[in-house]
Structure 1
Amino acid sequence: MNTFQSLKYRYNNLDVFGKIITINIIVFILDVALSSIFRLTVVKYFVMPSGFGDFILQPWSLITYGFLHSGIWHLLFNMLFLFYLSSAASNLFRTKMVLNIYLLGIISGGLAYLAFSNILPTSIVGFQKGIMVGASAGVSALLMFIAIYMPDSQIRLFNTFNVKWMHIAIFFVSIDVIRILMGVNQGGYIAHVGGYLLGYSYAANLKKGKDIGVGFERLMDTIMSWFKPKSNLKTVHRKPSRAPKAKGSSDTNDKQKKIDAILDKISKSGYDSLTAKEKKFLFEASKDD
């Protein structure tokens, strides 16, 4: 196994948030390489613009900006928090639901940033228009969700003492509000607030028994299904077993039993679980059908 295959194997065995963290790191390295070495600014098509007109031309940026970072410390801070928060939430909730909160937090943060820069009187608040990058809004959503839904949950810092996620959330919300009032990087911190609001709303509704991310999850499942490879094999249906009537019918019954066994295996473990020999047999059977 060469280095690339080894890395690919390790990547495929990561959980969804491990893959997201890896993608963020790879994108950051590519961004640095393209902009510093080759003088290319490809990422400008994926950042979140402050102008509504610019956003209309690249609506995908509402998600893609969350995979870009302005510096190494920005990246490390967000990815470290994402690792701990996703681990804490995934211990109690479905991974897809935790992913919903994270992605919806990024979207909410982007919308808050867009609204703040285009609706509010920026001449009064002193907001400077530009672009936004970073996964902070998604991380903020997860932080607030855990703080509200599991206020007594804790994290052990520096392997020395425990701190409640609720207290960490209060600290960061306070810092963000102060910075907004001081006019420091208002756009970025407004995005944090958008994430906080999403996380709070998700937790409050979930406590009432309502998962507000179900519709978004279905949408994402539909989009992902567009990219799944489709098999070229014809569908082979089960045939009801019949009593042997003529010579050679025994071979036919054996063949059908083998098809049924393969179909059972597909229903339990998926098509990829078949051996090469089983795939070939099923393919031949589909042609004979």
Structure 2
Amino acid sequence: MSGFVDDIKEAFSRRDNGLIQLILINVFVFLVLLVIQVSFSLAGKPGIYGMILDQIAMKPNLGHILYKPWTLLTYCFVHQQVLHILFNMLFLFWFGQLVQEYLGSRRLVSIYLLGGIFGGLIYLTLYNVVPYFQANLEELNIGASGAVYAVMLGAATLLPNYTFHVLIIGPVRIKYIAAFCVIVSFAQIPGTNAGGNIAHLSGALFGYLYIRMLRRGIDLGQPVEAVLDFFKRLFAREPRPTMQVKYRSQTRTSFTTYSTTTEDYPGDEEIDAILDKISKSGYESLTREEKQKLYKASQKN
């Protein structure tokens, strides 16, 4: 048991490990809610579980969101069914790996959180504006699907021709996988899970827009990163002061200064070599550094 706890601590202490941290948070919340649900059901008080769920799940009722605004974020970490969390976490892992490797852990977390919030806002708006949905203002909306769709469309917009090997079918470009999921969600809007499918599509739209704006030099995730940095500094342990002993030297040391004002863009020869490697071995053969250089080159005017 201690080894399991140590593994979790290590996962959260490592830098650039946002993907695994998001998955662990989702799994932890699922297990805690599962224990609470089973325990109170056996005790003959299932209503207590419903009260707890009401504090973290989202409702399109405006009164609910005004009194519990945090549910706009917490709902995308809540699951009740095993298959629901299983498929969400698998999709998050598959597509999140691409985003994290190419754009970094912080931007992956930003896409996930903002995609979930954006999906919740569109869901809230449509349920209060479109008459078709107004009979269901008390329904609960939970699940990471909107946030996961944001990550999926972000990866598909970033690397549309990257291929996944799908069981039975074989290699499929991720842009087609993403398009299939979007079409299925759109077709199911009139069904019983209309709110969930609206969140899917809204999250997908955000993931697409995030990458498009990022290519223009606008990072929509900067506010999220600023908030995360604030809490990181708030809970960070203050380092112990260390004693330093300095000795005066009789010899003068000359220093050479280097200019850091220019953007560190890769040269044309480097890019040509990377493109040759892609043509010979495919995009998957590139190292993380080569992918980042290719991305920087795409931002160069």
Q: TM-score, normalised by structure 1?
A: 0.75
Which residue, 109, 114, 126 being the options, matches 1:104?
Answer: 114
> CA offset at residue 216 of structure 1?
2.0
The equivalent of 2:159 in structure 1 is 150
Aligned residue identity for 1:171: F
1:241 aligns with 2:247: yes
State whether residues 126 and 133 of structure 2, in contact with CA within 8 Å, keep that contact through their aligned partners in structure 1.
no
Greater Cα radius of gyration, structure 1 or 2: 1
1:65 is aligned, of 52, 62, 75, to 75
Q: Secondary structure at the residue paired with 2:103?
A: coil
| Aligned residue among 119, 124, 128 for 2:136 | 128
Shift of 1:242: 5.1
2:28 to 23, 26, 29: 26
Deviation (angstroms), 1:137 = 0.7
What is the distance in 2 between the residues matched to 1:20 and 1:211?
21
* Residue equivalent to 1:223: 231
Q: 1:87 to 1:127 in 2, by over 3 A?
A: farther
Q: 2:19, 2:100 within 8 Å by CA — same for their partners in 1? A: no
1:65 Cα deviation (Å)? 0.8
1:195-237 Cα deviation digits (max 9, x unpaired): 0111011111122232221222112211232222335x4x457
> By how many angstroms is 1:55 displaced?
1.1
1:212 alignment counterpart: 220
8 Å Cα contact 2:153/2:178 also seen in 1: yes
Q: Name the SS of the counterpart of 2:171 in structure 1.
A: strand
Q: Is the 8 A contact 1:148 1:200 kept in 2?
A: yes
Contact 1:65 1:134 survives alignment (8 Å): yes
Deviation at 1:238, TM superposition (A): 4.8
Alignment of 1:124-203 (within 5 A): 124-125=132-133, 128-129=136-137, 130-158=139-167, 161-180=170-189, 182-203=190-211
Q: Which amino acid aligns with 1:35?
A: Q
- Rounded to whole Å, the distance in 1 between the matches of 2:151 and 2:56 is 23
Residues in 1 aligned to 2:7 and 2:245: alpha-carbon distance in whole angstroms: 42
- 2:106 & 2:246 partners in 1: Cα distance? 39
Say whether residues 1:7 and 2:11 are aligned partners: no
* Match runs of 1:229-268 below 5 Å: 229-231=237-239, 233=240, 235=241, 238=244, 241=247
1:127 CA drift (Å): 5.6
Q: 1:265 aligns to what?
A: none
- How far residue 20 of structure 1 moved from its aligned partner, in angstroms, is 2.1
Q: 2:61 aligns with which of 43, 51, 55?
A: 51
The Cα of 1:7 is off from its aligned counterpart by 0.8
Q: 1:160 to 1:184 in 2, by over 3 A?
A: closer
- Rounded to whole Å, the distance in 2 between the matches of 1:127 and 1:102 is 29
- Where 2:236 maps in the other structure, the secondary structure is coil
* Structure 1 residue runs without a partner (length 5+): 244-289
SS at match of 1:69: coil
Paired residues, number: 235
CA RMSD after TM alignment: 2.1
Q: Deviations over 1:143-197 (max 9, x none)?
A: 11111121111111238711111101111111111111x3431111111122011
Runs of 5+ consecutive residues of structure 2 not aligned to the other structure? 12-16, 41-45, 250-301
Cα distance change on mapping 1:156 and 1:12 into 2, 3 Å: farther
Question: What is the percent sequence identity of the aligned residues?
Answer: 29
Render the CA deviation track for 1:241-282: whole Å, top value 9, x for unaligned.
359xxxxxxxxxxxxxxxxxxxxxxxxxxxxxxxxxxxxxxx
CA contact (8 A) 2:19 2:108 kept: no
TM-score by length of 2: 0.72
Comparing 220-229 with 201-210, greater Cα deviation is found at: 220-229
